[in-house]
């Protein structure tokens, strides 16, 4: 029966509202495919373009031929009535009737966290995104949209920190831009690519805002790193609010247009300010477990090695490991954000105990 879900989705071009109406009124999608009249389809909310496509597909059978190739393309199809369909998506308004997946969805016992923001990310946004993710544990799953800027930086940071990641696409799985192919393939090894659009459907100005409800719907909380007043990230935050999910926003410079959206979310009380990864653990009531001191960048490992001997101040560390002052400061900050070290009142840094 899943092939008929795909066929109807092709005719509807991934639009969930008429699809939801169809499955609510007709349990057997094969019978509906064979028998529904134009008048009955209009009552369900089908547009003329959808009805025209349906007639073409009834004649050619093109969606069914596409479906036969999914196995070779390593595309899995999950419908809303399958047990493997994410339960959290059933709770949202107009949930996708069908999902196309490459890779494996991590267990939902993990904490799904979406990170979104502007495509024109600043150096500040890049640094903050990286530090937020590095402060998390592998009990998290990072969800984003594979767009340029904050999205791809969030996915990349997750991969660098051995955290699973999911990219929710605003187009079909076969429409990923060439320059993202190898990156997308890497994501499938540590998570999944998801789309509610037929694999060969390209994106448009409506499909990207539509997919944002899935990004927030999969997640316990959404973090907006940088966003203008009008942006896709703010749309995602709006969906998260409607879905009863937690929303965080990273404060930014008041004169920077890339921070105007996040600052406004905080000002209006629509998002909690995110000042440290610990805020995520506290708000979501997740017990924090320190990461093992393994596979750290070289300078960070040198710092940890010295602090394991005894607490030390910045000057002492700089002399003992011959590290430039600027690099020492950034490395200490990243270790603090990762909850591996802490600075005491006497100015000395020390290794934090687990837990």
CA–CA dist 257, 253 (Å, integer):
8
Whether 262 and 345 map to the same domain: the answer is no
Whether 57 and 163 map to the same domain: the answer is no
Cβ atoms of 19 and 97 within 8 Å: the answer is yes
Domain-embedded: residue 203 = yes
Q: What is the pLDDT of residue 277?
A: 86
Domain-embedded: residue 73 = no
Cβ atoms of 307 and 348 within 8 Å: the answer is no
- Looking at the DSSP assignment, which residues form a beta bridge with residue 195? 100
Domain-embedded: residue 292 = no
Whether 275 and 330 map to the same domain: the answer is no
Q: What is the pLDDT of residue 141?
A: 97
Domain-embedded: residue 71 = no
Cβ atoms of 46 and 18 within 8 Å: the answer is yes
pTM of the predicted model, to two decimals?
A: 0.81
**Tokens for 313?**
């101040």
Q: What is the DSSP string of 238-292?
A: HHHHHTT-EEEE----TT-HHHHHHHHHHHTTSSEE--SHHHHHHHTT----PPP
Contacts for 325 with CB less than 8 Å, ≥ 6 apart:
318
Cβ atoms of 96 and 188 within 8 Å: the answer is no
CATH (domain of 330): 1.10.10
Segment (H or E) for 351: strand 349-351
Whether 122 and 229 map to the same domain: the answer is yes
Q: Rounded to the nearest 10 degrees, how much is the dihedral formed by the CA atoms of 286, 189, 150, 341? A: 50
Whether 123 and 223 map to the same domain: the answer is yes
Whether 134 and 263 map to the same domain: the answer is yes
Q: Rounded to the nearest 10 degrees, how much is the dihedral formed by the CA atoms of 118, 113, 87, 190? A: 90
Nearest residue to 294 via CA among 162, 173, 167, 180? 162
CA–CA dist 26, 347 (Å, integer):
68
Domain-embedded: residue 172 = yes
Domain-embedded: residue 290 = no
What's the DSSP call for residue 106?
Answer: P
Whether 274 and 210 map to the same domain: the answer is yes
- How many CB atoms lie under 10 A from the CB of residue 290? 15
Domain-embedded: residue 347 = yes
CA–CA dist 224, 144 (Å, integer):
11
Please give the distance of CA 106 from its chain centroid, rounded to a whole number: 13
Domain-embedded: residue 266 = yes
Q: Rounded to the nearest 10 degrees, how much is the dihedral formed by the CA atoms of 126, 128, 131, 137? A: -100
pLDDT lower than 50: segments of the chain: 293-294, 355
Q: What is the pLDDT of residue 199?
A: 97
Cβ atoms of 325 and 311 within 8 Å: the answer is no
Structural domain containing residue 238: 103-283
Q: What is the pLDDT of residue 295?
A: 65
């Amino acid at each position: 029966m899943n092939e008929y879900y795909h066929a109807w989705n092709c005719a509807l071009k991934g639009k969930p509202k008429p699809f939801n109406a169809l499955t609510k009124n007709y349990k057997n999608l094969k019978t509906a495919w064979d028998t529904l009249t134009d008048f009955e389809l209009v009552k369900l909310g089908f547009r003329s373009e959808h009805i025209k496509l349906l007639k073409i597909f009834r004649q050619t059978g093109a969606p069914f031929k596409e479906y036969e190739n999914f196995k070779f393309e390593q595309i899995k199809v999950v419908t809303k009535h399958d047990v493997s369909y994410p339960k959290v998506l059933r709770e949202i308004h107009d949930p996708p009737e069908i999902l196309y997946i490459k890779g494996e969805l991590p267990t939902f016992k993990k904490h799904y966290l979406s990170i979104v923001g502007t495509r024109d990310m600043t150096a500040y946004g890049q640094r903050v995104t990286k530090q937020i993710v590095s402060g998390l544990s592998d009990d998290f799953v990072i969800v984003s949209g594979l767009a340029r800027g904050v999205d791809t930086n969030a996915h990349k940071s997750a991969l660098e920190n051995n955290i699973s990641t999911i990219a929710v696409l605003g187009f079909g799985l076969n429409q990923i831009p060439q320059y993202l192919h190898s990156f997308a393939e890497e994501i499938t090894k540590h998570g999944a690519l998801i789309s509610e659009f037929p694999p060969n459907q390209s994106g448009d100005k409506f499909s990207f805002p539509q997919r944002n409800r899935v990004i927030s719907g999969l997640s316990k909380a959404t973090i907006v790193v940088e966003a203008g007043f009008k942006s896709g990230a703010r749309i995602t935050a709006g969906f998260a609010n409607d879905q009863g999910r937690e929303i965080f926003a990273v404060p930014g410079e008041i004169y920077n247009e890339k921070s105007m959206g996040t600052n406004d979310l905080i000002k209006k009380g629509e998002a909690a300010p995110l000042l440290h990864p610990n805020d995520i653990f506290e708000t979501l009531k997740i017990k924090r477990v320190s990461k093992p001191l393994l596979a750290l960048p070289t300078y960070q490992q040198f710092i940890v090695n010295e602090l394991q001997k005894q607490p030390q101040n910045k000057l002492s560390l700089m002399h003992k490991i011959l590290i430039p002052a600027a690099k020492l400061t950034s490395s200490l900050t990243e270790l603090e954000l990762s909850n591996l070290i802490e600075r005491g009142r006497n100015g000395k840094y020390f290794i934090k105990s687990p837990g």
